[in-house]
Amino acid sequence: MINGNVNEFIDGLYYGDERWFMFHGVKYFIQGWVKNEEFTLELEQMEPEPKQNSPLWTKTCSYYRKQEIVKDFLSAPIWGGKTFWQAEQEMEWVDD
């Protein structure tokens, strides 16, 4: 991951930390939150403005199974058919 430690990036996802990053000129935002003992992790495209009004990827489960959501995010072929781990060297961690 350009401009950041990929392990630190991933560790923050388990706590719902906000992360801004770029991939192939597109800016993304990922965050998580807890509500009613459920953990949600959601990825949105921020720039250029997305054509749809929904998140690119989202998943919710029991707070106690949040590791599974992060694992699912990391293995989803979101990045031009690649998983996070296949594409992370092309990603840049940026401030908002």
Q: DSSP letter string over 44-96?
A: EEEESPPSSSS-SEEEEEEGGGHHHHHHHHHHS-TBTTB-HHHHGGGEEEE--
Q: In this model, does residue 95 exceed pLDDT 90?
A: no
Q: In this model, does residue 24 exceed pLDDT 80?
A: yes
pLDDT of residue 77: 97
Local confidence band at 65 (pLDDT 50, 70, 90 cut-offs): very high
Strands across the sheet with 19-23, in order?
Answer: 57-62, 38-47, 26-35, 19-23, 91-94
User: Do the bridges between strand 26-35 and strand 38-47 make them parallel or antiparallel, or are there none, so unpaired?
Assistant: antiparallel
Q: In this model, does residue 35 exceed pLDDT 90?
A: yes
Q: In this model, does residue 96 exceed pLDDT 80?
A: no
Q: In this model, does residue 45 exceed pLDDT 90?
A: yes
